[in-house]
Structure formats: C-alpha cells, structure tokens
Amino acid sequence: MRFDEAVKLFARHLETERLRSRETVRAYLADLRDFRSHLEAHGGLEDVSGIDPLHVRGFLASRFGKIKKVTMGRKLAAVRTFFRFLRRERLVSSNPAEGIRAPKREKPAPRALSVDEMHRFFVRNPAMAKRDLAIFELLYSSGLRVGELTGLKIQDLDLKNGWVRVVGKGSKERYVPVGSKAIKAIEEYLPVRDLLLTQKRPWTDSEALFVNRRGGPLSSRTVRRILKAYLDAAGLTRDASPHTFRHSFATHLLVGGADLRSIQELLGHASLSTTQRYTRVDLGRLMEVYDRAHPRSGSIKKSS
C-alpha cells in the first residue's frame, strides 16, 4: 500500500476508533509527513511494506541536533504507532520502529534559590512557628529529601556533635552534618514537640521528630503546603518546593568550593552523574569568574 493511502486509514482510525482530538490527529499527521519527506529525499520510497528500521533510524539521525530531543521522541512515537496500526491491519509484516529507542531527554538543571533568596525567606518570616523554622533550617542545612525529613526519628539526632542519621532511597543510611542555625532551631522546637506529644492519640508515632498538632508524624504533603505559605509571605517564586531547598544546599556548597564527591555523599546520590547536574546551575557565574581571571579568556584589557 502506498504511504499516503496508509496515512489516510491511520487518520480515520485515530478519529473514529481511538476518538483522538483534532489537535492530536493533526500532530500525528504532521510527524508522518515529516517522515515521508525524509523517505522522498532518500529514494522516494512509497510502499509502506518496504520501510525497514534503517529508514526510521536514518530519519531520526537526519533530525538530530536540529530539533529538541523531546520532539524527536514524539516523532518516533508517531511512526511507531502508525506501523503498529498497519501491522494490526496486516498491511505490513513488522513494525520497523518497534525496537528503536528515543533519545534520552536532557534533565533540566535543578532549580535553586540564591543565597539572597534563602536569606529573604527566613528574614521575611520572623513569626515562623518553631517547628516550621526547624524544618526549613534542617532542609537547607543538610540537603534532605522531604521524605527523609518526615521519616526522621528523635533518636536520629545527635545535636551535641552536629549530625543527623538519614535513611534515604533504597534504605541506604548516611550521616549528614547539621548547621549551627538548624541546631538552634531544633533545640527551640523540641519543648514544643514534647508538649504536642502530651496530647497525642494512642496510635501516633511518639518517635517521630516532626509532629503535627495532634502529636502524629508530619506528612510530606503538609510540609509542601506550609512552605508555599511562607514562600508567598516572603514574595518568592511559587514553583519552589522542599526539594528546592535540597538543590539550594548543593548549589551553594558547590559555589563555596566543595568538591562533587563530598556533595554526592551528603546528598546520598548513588551515582556521581546525578550530582554533576549541579555543575550547570551556576555556570554563568563561573564564566564571569573565568573571563575576569584567566589570562587567555580574551576579555582582560591589555595595559598600554
């Protein structure tokens, strides 16, 4: 069957059987037209039964570097779905796109608040509850995931020596330093915690470090909700989350001169490649430093 005829059948299938919207059908057809253009430019192949994996790989290779990886993935998905339909209808014997993987999407650099923004967060919330202050000081001080924070037990703390025991992903245990401001905030919160525990219900976990008003363990969802209110009060971005504090912790350590291996240990990353994402966060500042300091950067004015 000719390519154009097969596309018409596929479009009808999307509209009548799968009940896809006009916009979705239009997007599929646009990607298939792009694929057809590639085929025409490389021999003018018309019969869909003659298309093989090399044609599909060549199509993706021809678009590499010209479009975003996410767009390449979408085009591959359109071709794969098209041939899946044709195979179901027994118009082709195999799906030439079935075993081809889409290019990996680049993960965006983690979002972090600047040092000034972090300072503003605490300064502009002077009436922050003692428990909440302890939570956010600890998140920023030690770079914990919000799930790690809500899972902390009172016995995990060693405030005298400035450490906290954390159980991260895969039940991996690590010990993380706690900064002086976080230690002070936790010390001021602990009497409040003791008071809340006197009102606890029988089924509550009395070992939890951070508890709610009824003495029960605090949830990650509650931490996110509380943070949003404080961010609004400080006039900071609304898309920040508890994980933003973790990103800020890592970024500020990197800018301060900490090496990636140390940051990896503190964050509990299994792979250094995960930690290396932070090297892109402050690239602009590093380039400014390079331009000012390196004798071969080309931006230093020559003395006359």
Active site positions, annotated: 145, 169, 243, 246, 269, 278
Residues 6+ apart with CB under 8 A from 88: none
Distance of CA 21 to the CA centre of its chain: 30
Residues 278, 250 contacting (CB under 8 angstroms): yes
Helix then strand then coil, in percent of the chain rounded to 5, is 60, 5, 35
Residue 256 zone, left/alpha/beta (φ > 0; ψ -120 to 50; rest):
alpha
Of 140, 221, 222, which is closest to residue 186 (Cα–Cα)?
140
Cβ pair 50, 59 in contact under 8 A: no
CB 51 within 8 A of CB 75: no
